[in-house]
A and B are shown apart, each in its own frame.
Chain A
Amino acid sequence: MAAITIDRVTKIYPNGFEAVHELDLDVADGELMVLVGPSGCGKTTALRMVAGLEDASAGTLSIGGRIVNDVSPKDRDIAMVFQNYALYSHMTVAKNIGFALKLRRLPKSEINRKVAEAAEILGLTEWLDRKPAQLSGGQRQRVAMGRAIVREPSVFLMDEPLSNLDAKLRVRMRAEVARIQRRLGVTTLYVTHDQVEAMTMGDRVAVMRAGVLQQCDSPQVLYDHPSNVFVAGFMGSPAMNLFEARLGEGAVSAVVGTQRLALPESLLASRPGLRAYANRTVVLGVRPEELAVAGEEATTVPAAAALEGDVDLIEALGSELLVHFTTDARSVIGEDAMEPDAKDLSAGSLAGAGEGVARVKLRSKLVTGQRVRFLVDPAALRFFDPASGQAIVR
Chain B
Amino acid sequence: MVAGFIVAVVFVLPYLIMLLTSLKGRYDTLAVPPTYLPKAWYPQNYITMWTATQTPLLDNMIATLVISVGATMLMFVVCIPAAYYTARFRFPGRGVFMFLVIVTQMLQPTLLATGLFQQFRLLGLNDTWLAMILINAAFNLTFAIWIMHAFFASVPKEVNEAAELDGAGKWGILWWVNLRLVWPGIVTALIYTFVASANEFSASLVILTSATKQPLSVALSAFIGQYDTAWQYLFGVSIVAIVPSVILFVLIEKHLVGGLTAGSIK
Q: Which residues of A contact B (CB under 8 A)?
A: 51, 53, 73-74, 78-80, 82-84, 86-91, 99-100, 103-104, 147, 151
- Closest chain-B Cβ to A88's Cβ sits at a distance in Å of 6
Distance in angstroms between the alpha carbons of A79 and B167 in the assembled complex: 10
Would you call B165 and A84 a contact (CB within 8 A)? no
Contacts of B15 in A (CB 8 A): none
Residue contact B167 to A80, C-beta cutoff 8 Å: no
Is B36 an interface residue when CB atoms closer than 8 A count as contact?
no
Contacts of A80 in B (CB 8 A): 161-162, 165
Are A86 and B159 in contact (CB-based, < 8 A)? Answer: yes
How many Å from the CB of A385 to the closest CB on chain B?
Answer: 41
CB within 8 Å for A78 and B165 given contacts A84-B158, A86-B156, A89-B181? yes
Contact between A86 and B162, CB atoms less than 8 A apart? yes
Report B184 CB to chain A, min CB distance, Å. 12
Q: Is the CB of A82 within 8 A of B166?
A: no
Q: How far in angstroms is the closest Cβ of chain A from B173?
A: 10
B176 interfacial by beta-carbon distance below 8 Å: yes
Q: Does B39 contact A (CB under 8 A)?
A: no
Given the complex, which residues of A lie within 8 Å of B159, measured CB to CB?
86-88
* In-complex Cβ contact of B167 among A87, A90, A104 (8 A): A104
Chain A residues near B181 (CB, 8 Å)?
88-90
In the complex, 19 of the A-B residue pairs with CB atoms within 8 angstroms, ordered by the A residue number, are: A51-B161, A73-B164, A74-B165, A79-B165, A80-B162, A82-B162, A83-B158, A84-B158, A86-B158, A86-B159, A87-B162, A88-B159, A88-B180, A90-B180, A99-B166, A99-B176, A103-B168, A147-B162, A147-B166
In the complex, whether B43 has a CB less than 8 A from a CB of chain A is no
Chain A residues with CB below 8 A from B167, complex form: 74, 100, 103-104
- CB-defined interface of B164-187 with A at 8 Å, one 1/0 digit per residue? 111110001000110011010000
Total contacting residues, chain B, CB less than 8 A:
17
Min CB–CB distance A294 → chain B (angstroms): 53
Complex Cα distance A91/B163, Å?
13
Our pick among B158, B166, B183 for the contact of A103 (Cβ within 8 Å) is B166
Q: How far is the CB of B156 from chain A (nearest CB, A)?
A: 7
**Closest-CB distance, B262 to chain A (whole angstroms):** 17
Question: How close is A98's CB to chain B, nearest CB, in angstroms?
Answer: 10
Taking a contact as CB atoms under 8 Å apart, the answer to whether A88 and B161 are in contact is: no
Give the CA-CA distance A82 to B163 in the complex, in Å.
12
B159: nearest residue on chain A (CB-CB)?
Answer: A86
Given A82-B158, A103-B172, A88–B164 Cβ distance below 8 Å?
no
3 smallest A-B Cβ distances: which pairs? Answer: A100-B166, A86-B158, A86-B162
Residue of B at shortest CB range from A99? B166
Bound Cα distance A100, B163 (Å):
8
Is the pair A86, B177 in contact by a Cβ cutoff of 8 Å?
Answer: no
With A86-B158, A99-B176: A51-B165 Cβ-Cβ less than 8 Å: yes
In Å, the complex CA distance between A387 and B177 comes to 53
Residues of B within 8 A of A104 (CB): 167
Complex formed: what's the CA distance from A151 to B168 in Å?
14
How far apart sit A127 and B205, CA to CA, in the bound complex (Å)?
Answer: 58
- Residues of A near B166 (CB, < 8 A) are 74, 99-100, 103, 147, 151
The residue of chain B having its C-beta at the shortest distance from the C-beta of A157 within the complex is B165
Q: For A105, give the chain B residue with the smallest CB separation.
A: B167
Chain A residues near B163 (CB-CB < 8 A): 88, 99
Chain A min CB distance to B9 (Å): 36
- CB-based nearest A residue for B158: A86
Q: For B177, list chain A residues within 8 Å (CB).
A: 88
Name the residue on B nearest A159 (C-beta).
B158
Output the least CB separation between B181 and chain A (Å).
6
Contacts of A73 in B (CB 8 A): 161, 164-165
B161 lies within 8 A of A82 (CB)? yes
